[in-house]
């Protein structure tokens, strides 16, 4: 039996998602027979609590800023604690959409055309021909993301909101239509499957991701076999290009009419909630939720 610290909650706007992921993981670790300590970095004394707990391993179930951008990973490296998912550099790279796109492009992966801008500059006038997408340069769960469609008179006014909490830099990039697809990758096992995400609403926003009935998952995706094989290879290549470890999930857009595929982003700490995609794909290939969590613990190491 191991003593496992589960990091959950945290400080980012994705805190509710992390709490759900963390609770699910903690319950699985207990079912696997291990001793669990739940630690929420929202508590200013969390580092001292972690040191006092003396865990054998740390399961990082944090999402968003501080949780998956390399900073918590740096703390765990300093404390010399074996932990799950990607290390400092891969986490920081994947979280920074602009830099991640540069690395992926250099590796020969297909990405959307776009550029990094200050949010206020992006709000003055259309920075590129419509339709286009505006998204925070850091962050996840589709928070602060807008699709500016044909006929829009101006960019999203929310970019000028004084309560905006998603950072000053945004990525503005071409909108690519078609299917929303995603592929989970496990170190040593490779890509698991291709899922098509069919949102109940207009697009795959926060509610579509996490609300009950917000989206439907088609697994395996109903796409040609050669396209599925290409997507799985691209997900493995993206995982490797960023230097990721453990489990990742790479999101794609696939426009069948133009036979165009783009990598949207690589998630270094995929959600582990009841509606999350990575555990669903693991189950599709014969691995239960508990077995996936057990694999994460076995894969945990220091240094990452």
pLDDT at 200: 73
Q: Could you tell me which of 120, 148, 124 has the C-alpha nearest to residue 134? A: 148
Kindly state the tokens that stand for 117.
């801008």
Q: State the DSSP code for 60.
A: E
Q: What is the pLDDT of residue 140?
A: 57
Query: Is 153 among the residues known to form the active site?
Result: no
Distance CA 100, CA 88 (A): 14
Specify whether 71 is catalytic.
no
Active site residue 60: no
- Counting as low any pLDDT under 50, the low residues of the chain are 205, 208-210
Note if 267 is an active site residue.
yes
Please tell me the predicted confidence (pLDDT) of residue 170.
93
Whether 180 is a known active-site residue: answer: no
User: What pTM was computed for the model?
Assistant: 0.89
Predicted confidence at residue 214, as pLDDT, reads: 62
Q: Which of 14, 38, 180, 237 is catalytic?
A: 14
Q: How many CB atoms lie within 10 A of CB 48?
A: 10
Q: Sketch out the chain's domains with CATH numbers.
A: 3-85 (3.40.50.20), 93-110+177-288 (3.30.470.20), 114-174 (3.30.1490)
Alpha-helical runs (H) found in the chain: 15-31, 46-53, 71-79, 88-95, 97-106, 119-124, 206-210, 225-241, 277-284, 289-299
């Amino acid at each position: 039996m191991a003593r496992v610290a589960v990091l959950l909650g945290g400080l980012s706007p994705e805190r509710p998602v992390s709490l759900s992921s963390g609770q699910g993981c903690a319950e699985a670790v207990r079912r696997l027979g291990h001793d669990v300590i739940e630690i929420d970095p929202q508590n200013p004394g969390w580092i001292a609590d972690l040191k006092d707990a003396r865990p054998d391993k740390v399961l990082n179930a944090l999402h968003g800023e501080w949780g998956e951008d390399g900073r918590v990973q740096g703390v765990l490296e300093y404390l010399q604690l074996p932990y799950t998912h990607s290390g400092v550099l891969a986490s920081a790279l994947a979280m920074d959409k602009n830099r991640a796109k540069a690395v992926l492009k250099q590796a020969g992966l297909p990405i959307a055309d776009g550029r990094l801008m200050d949010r206020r500059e992006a709000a003055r006038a259309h920075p590129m021909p419509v339709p286009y997408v505006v998204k925070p340069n850091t962050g996840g769960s589709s928070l602060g993301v807008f699709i500016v469609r044909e006929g829009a008179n101006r960019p999203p006014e929310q970019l000028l909101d004084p309560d905006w909490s998603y950072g000053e830099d945004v990525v503005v990039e071409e909108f690519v239509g078609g299917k929303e697809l995603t592929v989970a990758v496990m170190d040593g096992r490779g890509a698991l499957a291709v899922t098509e995400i069919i949102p109940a609403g207009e697009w795959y926003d926060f509610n579509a991701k996490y609300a009950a009935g917000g989206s439907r998952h088609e697994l395996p995706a109903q796409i040609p076999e050669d396209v599925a094989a290409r997507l799985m290879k691209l997900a493995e290549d993206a995982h490797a290009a960023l230097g990721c470890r453990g489990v990742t999930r790479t999101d794609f857009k696939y426009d069948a009419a133009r036979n165009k595929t783009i990598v949207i982003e690589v998630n270094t700490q995929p959600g582990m909630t009841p509606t999350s995609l990575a555990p669903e794909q693991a189950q599709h290939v014969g691995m239960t939720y508990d077995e996936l969590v057990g694999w994460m613990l076995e894969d945990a190491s220091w240094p990452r």
